[in-house]
Chains A and B, each alone.
Chain A
Amino acid sequence: MTILNSSDEIKKGEDDLINNHDDFRIFGLIIFLIADGMTFAGFFAAYLTYKAVNPLPEGSLYELELAIPTLNTIILLISSATFHKAGKALINQKNDLSQKWLLITASLGITFLICQLFEYFNLPFGLTDNLFASTFYALTGFHGLHVTLGTLMILIISWQTRINGGRITYKNMFPLEAVELYWHFVDGIWVILFIILYLY
């Protein structure tokens, strides 16, 4: 994207290099995601410490089923791939195809959230039952919040990739790239969460 006044002469040489600069938004987003990842790292550290030093009290219930979270892992991994497809389609200037892939991604995100809620309602323990129940809901809930925000952003950018009058085109890829990066990040966090919370 280059904004130029038709009347202005384009400056050349070093001065031009000073006045123009590249787009650093993706770099800034990566730093933000590192920060966001540190929040999760804090949660994981707390959970692992509890696991190591705080025994589950007698008679308290904390058991997890693997079926739904495994399905959810697969759903999120597929959604990463479909998002990637959307990006590829946009580079090839096929906005309608890109929009389709984005809508598929969003519906996968919504499916994930529904499955998550289904799991919540069928678990034998509630938020305040015991320490591990609280940690479970805090971790998956915080991740679910990220998925919710991500899904909303995907719906917004899929509206913006529409053919007539959409803001996002192959020339202005940034919104799509940014949300894609965020979505992959949320997926990655889920995989770590799945391993630590369900498998470990």
Chain B
Amino acid sequence: MTILVDNKAKVKESLQPKGFLRYFSFSLDHKVIGIQYLVCGFLFYLVGGTLASAIRIELLSPLSDFLPRDVYNQVLTLHGTIMIFLWIVPVVNGAFGNYLIPFYVGARDMAFPRLNAVAFWLIPPSGLMLIASYFIEGAAQSGWTAYPPLSITTPQSGQIIWILSVLLLGGSSIFGGINFIVTILKLRRPGLKLMNLPMYCWAMLGTSILVVLSTPVLAGTLILLSFDIVAHTGFFNPALGGNVVVYQHLFWFYSHPAVYIMVLPAFGLVSEILPIHCRKPLFGYTTMVFSIMGIVVLGLVVWAHHMFTSGTPPWMRLFFTIATAFIAVPTGIKFFNWVATMWGGKISLNSAMLFSCGFIINFVFGGITGVALAQVPFDIHVHDTYFVVAHFHYIVYGGSVFVIFSSIYHWYPKVVGKLLNENLGYLHFALTFIGFNLCFAPQHWLGLNGMPRRVAEYDPQFQFVNQISSLGALFMAISTIPFLINIIISITKGKIAGNNPWKGLTPEWLTTSPPPVENWEGEAPLVNEPYGYGKDYLL
């Protein structure tokens, strides 16, 4: 059975709204869907960032004087949920995946365009529903982990809306994952081998496998939790004979891979950005592929390292410590590969490159604290303190969000067709990098000295360091302003970028900027050497 895409596309094109309106429509074009994901995610990032600012303002003083305690709990729950499920996961997977994967495999669209649009349109309603829960009877108060019995005893309506919203977002994520797996494995242009694909494809393949295998488990768990809340069953309620540790196991079976769902695509994106701006081939392609797949396999069997204080038996502690420490090996391989890619390269330090370098520095730091946290004696000491908060933010903000900004600077000329202002980009990077490290580095110290996380009040001896941290958060909040100004200036009177401003060799640079509806005017180019830099005859 074959479908001639040309004709289908013509019909498709004639049915789609034109111009600006198509970004608000049920568009089937993967590029439009990618932009929808990115802009929608960025709006939620602004909401989540505002909530983070509220948290940091509250923590300026030891007493809970800015936010009441229960509102503080709601704010931190919404902050975590929005940042993870509505900003990072949809953007590193949905936005860049949808935009880039069809180019990289030489296809004209994703394998299932309608499913793709459905996956996107599940996100705005569930996000709005989540935010709206705050105005009904108060949002969920049990953190993004929703551990019972806390999630059973706190006010119900917020928790139930939280569960429904996360279920919808999980569904969106699974639909996206199915689409990526089929597109990468089956929709490749004839002649394009798997081992010649750009690295981002491998990262998305690995991520999608994790999504498909782990997200449904979270969905099932949350269904059981909602039974506990609504029907008063006792799955996770010790008072009714249930077992809270089962919830923790099932939850972390998703939520540990979720870290890789947030960070593996970022690894892939960095592997695309570094070779172009260093003018060198990506170092160690094959080892990179195997380390991604190694992370996928190991990522599924390390979840209980979040539960060392939940009464886990010794053999479990031993196994999960060793398995977790093993993840440092493939991750380390990737880092050395990136450094080796930069080594001796003709590096142009533009905004995209700066954010990627910032990512490497931050992520090494977050990785080291991660290996430290995998050790049971140390983990028991710092469990549920700010050390964990600092580690986590070094991974997901210093890691994924830095890569998101790097990718925006890198692919903006392709998507919009205009250049961004480099000076504003430098300012954005400087503010973000300084603010980020000022905000989260002191939190390691706070955690080591025993400041618990998720509490609105703290011991007055921590006040000065908390104020430094809040100053950093202020820088991070301000850093958004030059970024937004940059985008507005570029859209109104930016310089025309041309088709290939970075002189890239990956397929998306071989078409016009912005690309036409079906990606290429003629047939898709066959790119067997996506990283063949330093060979001028290829350009």
A in complex with B: yes
Contact A27 B241 (CB under 8 A): no
A128 within 8 A of B: yes
- 1/0 per position for B454-485, CB-CB distance to A under 8 A? 00000000000000000000000000000000
Looking at the complex, which one of A2, A24, A25, A50 makes contact with B187 (CB distance below 8 Å)? A24
Most buried by A among B7, B224, B241: B241
Query: What is the minimal beta-carbon distance from B79 to any residue of chain A, in angstroms?
Result: 27
Question: Quick one: given A2-B4, A42-B250, are A27 and B213 in contact (CB under 8 Å)?
Answer: no
In the bound complex, how far is the Cα of B473 from the Cα of A200, in angstroms?
A: 55
Given contacts A4-B4, A28-B112, A31-B178, contact A127 B217 (CB under 8 A): no
Interface residue from A15, A20, A28, A42 paired with B111 (Cβ < 8 Å):
A28
Given contacts A22-B186, A39-B220, contact A50 B5 (CB under 8 A): no
Count: A-B pairs, CB below 8 Å: 148
| Alpha-carbon distance between A34 and B106 when the two chains are bound, in angstroms | 27
What is the minimal beta-carbon distance from B205 to any residue of chain A, in angstroms? Answer: 12
Q: Which residues in B have their C-beta under 8 angstroms from that of A5?
A: 7
**A18 vs B174: C-alpha distance in the bound complex, in angstroms?**
27
Contact partner, B212, options A17, A34, A40, A45, Cβ 8 Å: A34
- B279 CB to nearest A CB, Å: 30
| A41 sits at the interface (CB 8 A) | yes
User: When the two chains form their complex, are residues A42 and B253 in contact, meaning their CB atoms are under 8 A apart?
Assistant: yes
Contacts of A27 in B (CB 8 A): 182, 185-186
Q: Let me know if B2 is at the binding interface, CB within 8 A.
A: yes
Are B3 and A134 in touch, CB under 8 angstroms? no
For the complex, what is the distance from the CA of A40 to the CA of B8, rounded to whole Å? 38
Q: Which of B2, B115, B233 is within 8 Å of A128, CB to CB?
A: B233
A39 to B1, CA, bound (A): 32
The answer, yes or no, to whether A138 is at the interface (CB within 8 Å) is yes
Q: Are A31 and B1 in contact (CB under 8 A)?
A: no
- Contact indicator A38/B216 (Cβ below 8 Å): yes
Chain A residues 1-59 with CB under 8 Å of chain B are 1-5, 8, 11, 14-15, 17-25, 27-28, 31-32, 34-43, 45-46, 49-50, 53-54, 57
What is the CB-to-nearest-CB distance from A184 to chain B, in angstroms, rounded to a whole number?
19
Please tell me which one of the listed residues A4, A23, A46, A53 contacts residue B7 in the complex, with CB atoms under 8 A apart.
Answer: A4
Question: Does A77 count as interface, using CB distance less than 8 angstroms?
Answer: no
Closest Cβ neighbor of B526 among chain A residues: A14
Whether A20 lies near B241 (C-beta < 8 A) is no
Most buried by A among B1, B115, B224, B523: B1
- Give the distance in Å from the alpha carbon of A4 to the alpha carbon of B6 in the complex: 9
Q: Does A73 contact B (CB under 8 A)?
A: no
The contact string, 1 if C-beta is below 8 Å from chain A, for chain B 234-277, is 11000011110010011001000000000000000000000000
Check: B179 CB closer than 8 A to any chain A CB. Answer: yes
The residue from A18, A32, A36, A53 contacting B524, defined by CB atoms under 8 A apart = A18
Nearest A residue to B1 by beta-carbon distance? A23
Cβ contact within 8 Å between B243 and A54: yes
Q: Does A131 contact B (CB under 8 A)?
A: yes
Which A residue's beta carbon lies closest to that of B9?
A: A19
Smallest CB gap from B171: residue in A:
A35
Contact B106 A18 (CB under 8 A): yes
Q: Taking the nearest CB of chain B, how far is it from the CB of A54, in angstroms?
A: 5
Decide: A34 and B213 in contact? CB cutoff 8 A: yes
* Residues of chain A with a CB closer than 8 A to B249's CB: 45, 49
- Answer whether residue A160 sits at the interface, using C-beta atoms and an 8 A cutoff: no
Residues in chain A near residue B241, CB distance under 8 A:
54, 57, 60, 130-131
| CB-based contact A50/B246 at 8 Å | yes
Residue A135 at the B interface, CB < 8 A?
Answer: yes
> Cβ of B8 and Cβ of A3 under 8 Å apart?
yes
Query: How close is B366's CB to chain A, nearest CB, in angstroms?
Result: 28
Contact check, B234 vs A17: say whether CB atoms are below 8 A apart: no
Q: Determine the chain B residues whose CB is within 8 A of the CB of A135 once the complex forms.
A: 235
Query: Can you list, as one digit per residue, whether each of A148-173 has a CB less than 8 Å from chain B (1) or not (0)?
Result: 00000000000000000000000000
Min distance, Cβ A195 to any Cβ of chain B, angstroms = 19
Cβ-defined contact, A131 with B240, below 8 A: yes
Contact residues, B94-124 vs A (CB, 8 A): 106-108, 111-112, 115
Residues of B near A57 (CB, < 8 A) are 241
Asked if A45 and B250 sit within 8 Å, CB to CB, the answer is yes
Please tell me if the beta carbons of A35 and B178 are within 8 angstroms of each other in the complex.
yes
Q: How far is the CA of A5 from the CA of B6 in the complex (A)?
A: 10
Residues of A whose CB lies within 8 Å of any CB of B are 1-5, 8, 11, 14-15, 17-25, 27-28, 31-32, 34-43, 45-46, 49-50, 53-54, 57, 60, 127-128, 130-131, 134-135, 138, 142
A-B contacts, 23 listed (Cβ < 8 Å): A4-B4, A14-B523, A18-B108, A18-B523, A19-B5, A21-B2, A21-B186, A21-B187, A24-B186, A28-B115, A31-B177, A31-B178, A34-B212, A35-B212, A38-B214, A42-B221, A46-B246, A49-B243, A53-B243, A127-B231, A134-B234, A138-B223, A142-B223
Residues of B at under 8 Å CB distance from A?
1-8, 106-108, 111-112, 115, 174, 177-179, 181-182, 185-187, 189-191, 212-217, 219-221, 223-224, 227, 231-235, 240-243, 246, 249-250, 253, 522-524
